[in-house]
């Protein structure tokens, strides 16, 4: 039981050291992730389409 209590105390101390991002930083990061994901999905979709067209031409 003492180990569990010590674990929570140490966890609380470590959480005080964390530098949490601001709201603006979170929004900016989220936008970057969403745009990057959309671009990556479009590129993969185009590659898939081209590969399917290529296979259809061969067979």
pLDDT, tens digit (0-9, with 9 covering 90-100), for 21-54: 999 999 999 999 999 999 999 999 999 999 999 9
What integer pLDDT is reported at residue 59 of this predicted model?
85
Q: How far lies 12's CA from each of 1, 15, 16, 23, in Å?
A: 17, 5, 6, 23
User: Can you tell me the distance from the alpha carbon of 23 to that of 31, in angstroms, rounded to the nearest whole number?
Assistant: 12
> Two tokens at 32?
């970057």
- Write down the pTM of the prediction: 0.67
User: Can you tell me the distance from the alpha carbon of 27 to that of 39, in angstroms, rounded to the nearest whole number?
Assistant: 18
């Amino acid at each position: 039981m003492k180990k569990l209590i010590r674990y929570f105390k140490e966890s609380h101390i470590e959480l005080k050291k964390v530098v949490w991002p601001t709201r603006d930083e979170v929004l900016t990061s989220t936008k970057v992730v969403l745009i990057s994901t959309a671009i990556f999905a479009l590129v993969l979709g185009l590659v898939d389409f081209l590969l399917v067209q290529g296979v259809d031409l061969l067979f």
